Amino acid sequence: MMRALRNDTKTRNRAVDLAPASALSALSMQPAPETSRVTTSRVACDGAREIPGGAALGHPRVYLEIDEKGYVDCGYCDRRFILAGGPADAEAAH
């Protein structure tokens, strides 16, 4: 486990444990918490589309572009948008 110095107001340069690189790579391999299949390569996400009157519960609307991987993840809510028929579309592969 790696250690790093953290600047703390009570104790200066206190050592804290950091997660090993293998744990960080395992986190990046986890599936998206929510996925949506879309038919266009440009999508908008506000984090509350399925919540009735939920605009106050979401996040600022962002516009995302699906690239050659066939999907894009929202930076706010981690929703994954998969282009229907694209390289990341598992349903079309069956």
Using one digit for the tens of pLDDT, what is the confidence trace for 21-40?
A: 555 455 455 676 889 999 99
Q: Which residues have CB under 8 Å from 22's CB, separation 6+?
A: none
**Local confidence band at 1 (pLDDT 50, 70, 90 cut-offs):** very low
Domain 31-94 has CATH 2.40.30.170: no
pLDDT: which is higher, 17 or 37: 37
Q: Which residues have CB under 8 Å from 53's CB, separation 6+?
A: none
**Local confidence band at 20 (pLDDT 50, 70, 90 cut-offs):** low
Give the residue-averaged pLDDT of 49-66.
80
* C-alpha span between 62 and 81 (Å, rounded): 13
* C-alpha span between 51 and 68 (Å, rounded): 30
Domain ranges across the chain: 1-30, 31-94
Give the residue-averaged pLDDT of 52-72.
86
* C-alpha span between 9 and 3 (Å, rounded): 19
Token reading at 24 = 């960080």
